[in-house]
Amino acid sequence: MAREFSTVGVVGLGTMGAGIVEVFARNGIDVVAVEISAPALERGRATLKGSTDRAVAKGKLAEADRDALHERVHFAVGLDALHSVDLVIEAVPEHLDLKQRIFAELDRVCRPETILATNTSSLSVTEISVATSRPNQVIGIHFFNPAPVMKLVEVVRTVVTAPEVVADVEALCARLGKVDVTINDRAGFIANALLFGYLNHAVGMFESHYATREDIDAAMKLGCGLPMGPLALMDLIGLDTAYEILDTMYRRGGRDRRHAPVPLLKQMVTAGLLGRKSGRGFYTYERPGSPVVVPDEATPLATDGALADGARAIAKVGVVGSGTMATGIIEVFAKAGYEVVSVTRGMEKSAKVCEAVKTSLNKGVVRGKLSEADRDAALGRISWSATLDHLADVDLVVEAVVEELSVKKALFASLDEICKPGVVLATTTSSLPVIDVAMATHRPADVVGLHFFNPAPVMPLVEVVRTIRTSPEATATARAVCAALGKTGVVCGDRSGFIVNALLFPYLNDAVKMLEASYSTADDIDHAMKLGCGYPMGPFELLDVVGLDVSLAIQRELYLELREPGFAPAPLLEHLVTAGYLGRKTRRGFRDHSHR
């Protein structure tokens, strides 16, 4: 039988501590809430009151329940008030010496059977536990912010934590309505170990002027369905907190360069640009603590009209290719009012593409997203061809043929001869260097990458890739076309993975390495990222959908170009691909899909 916790102590009543107090009190447990001074105690009380009042206003908590909740909380200054509680959770700032001092004092004050827990997100629970004479009763209980809302709790056991202590805490999490994942004491645990490498990488991308803050954030929200972009998330977490977590993970986690804080981060912390809490971080906020972003000197100017910044007028578009991507792109342009010339290798393929576009448009009509008149008008704008010569009078060509450099280069050399001057030539490549394709022509200034995401009619993002030879006019034209299609165009340089894949796949690779090291299970890692970080899919769910062979190819490209040791593909990923376990398409990947 699990131990019954009737009274719990919480040390530190910042945002996290006050949230933890609320979680326990909401679930009928008496709480002793402790701070270092009377003013700090009052701030904690105000935080709790504000949170519960908001819950009442939103209809998520009855007034009577709120009042009963507050009656369960006893506020006190000093650790001596915790002498008779069953469990203490510490939620003070992330400084090892501070936590060790508190645990040594708790060891003296609390009853011998009391469990002592830390809410640390990055420090060693083991190093904290040795400050006590009862390290077997010390455990990590890592809540996520905001604690009353977030479902995930990471339960962190050290090598000496007693099994019954782990079992008691797991039962308590269930009583609180939380999903727990139990793991060993390792830098960053699951969620932060996977999240902060990605966030640090995004800061590096911004520091090197590879893309703007707005484009990096838009790319990850729209391309991956994440609740927030990485730079906005850093502002929410606090740049000082993020720096401490990264620095700790770097020192404790085998000195992986990807966890070494990007220099810009330290500079911003030193300058007091800490994110939302200081009113300025990567973005500028209305006032300290406000979530409302206000324009600053780095905010892009809103351009008036489609032909701003020297963008060229586009009326007629050629699309080369016969695959899923080409079909989707033809539909997108035709629905947006452009004349489209579809070119495939042979009329048989043209007929197939035509049929696929018709089927997709008909689905739109059935679902009420498109009128029959709009469908007919869109189809009327498309002409079907099996020869590139029909592209002689188009204003823009979008190439969506097979991902082989030799094929694309040959195609672009032909387009260079056929197309009139000033035509923008775009490649939809997701992995090849755009400059290699551009240099197959005599007009590299007119060549850009236009990386649509699959399915093109649905996905709102397009990565606009400019090479070192692309003209500002060609880039502006590509952005204006994206806007006219109702898509968000994000501009980046011609580097492997562009924005989305360059940030996404190293994170997926890190998850595979975590599984490979037997640190956690695929289920627990997926739970951690979905429930702890709000990701729409866990990394292993996503890998099985994308295809392990595709993922491995992208990861290899990133590693070959950047030569970053942390980007080397995880051996487990290579082994699964070799064994033919490629994900859903072969009914077996990280999970068995044969019965689904």
Give me the helix-helix angle, 38-57 and 15-26, nearest 10°.
Answer: 60
User: Can you state the percent helix, strand and coil of the chain, rounding each to 5?
Assistant: 50, 15, 35
Do you know the residue count of the chain? 596
Name the active-site residue from 90, 154, 399, 541.
154
- Read off the DSSP letter of residue 395: S
Radius of gyration of the chain (CA): 28
In contact, 35 and 44? CB cutoff 8 Å: yes
Q: Is 390 a catalytic residue?
A: no
Amino acid of residue 578? T
3-state secondary structure 37-94: CHHHHHHHHHHHHHHHHHHHHCCCCCHHHHHHHHHCEEEEECHHHHCCCCEEEECCCC
Q: What is the 3-state secondary structure (H, E, C) of 230-248?
A: HHHHHHHHCHHHHHHHHHH
> Is 201 marked active-site?
no
Q: Which of 22, 51, 119, 121 does the annotation list as catalytic? A: 121
Task: Provide the 8-state DSSP code for 588.
Answer: B
Q: Which of 192, 200, 496, 501 is catalytic?
A: 192
Nearest to 539 by CA among 560, 559, 525: 525
* Active-site residue identified among 142, 201, 259, 451: 142
Measure the CA–CA gap between 135 and 125, rounded to whole angstroms.
10
Tell me if residue 27 is catalytic: no
Cα separation, 549 vs 554, in Å, equals: 9
Separation of alpha carbons 276 and 17, rounded Å: 19
Closest Cα partner for 75 from 104, 103, 110, 37? 37
Element of type H or E holding 436: helix 434-438
CA–CA distance, 596 with 585 (Å, rounded to integer) = 12
Q: Which two tokens stand for residue 340?
A: 């489209």
Q: Which of 407, 408, 449, 442 is nearest to 425 (CA)?
A: 449
Sheet strand arrangement including 396-399: 382-385, 339-343, 316-320, 396-399, 424-427, 447-452, 461-466, 488-493
Tokens for 10, please give them: 């919480």
- C-alpha 501/C-alpha 492 separation (Å) is 12
Tokens for 373, please give them: 């008149």
* Coil vs helix vs strand at 171: helix
**Can you tell me the distance from the alpha carbon of 27 to that of 31, in angstroms, rounded to the nearest whole number?**
11
- Catalytic-residue membership of 42: no
Measured distance CA(307)–CA(313) in Å, rounded? 7
Q: Decide: helix, strand or coil at residue 148.
A: coil
What is the CB neighbour count within 10 angstroms for residue 579?
A: 11
DSSP string, 445-456: GGEEEEEE-SST
Give the angle 183-186-192 at the CA atoms, nearest 5°: 85
Which residues, listed in sequence order, are joined to residue 182 by a DSSP beta bridge? Answer: 155
Positions marked active-site: 121, 142, 154, 192
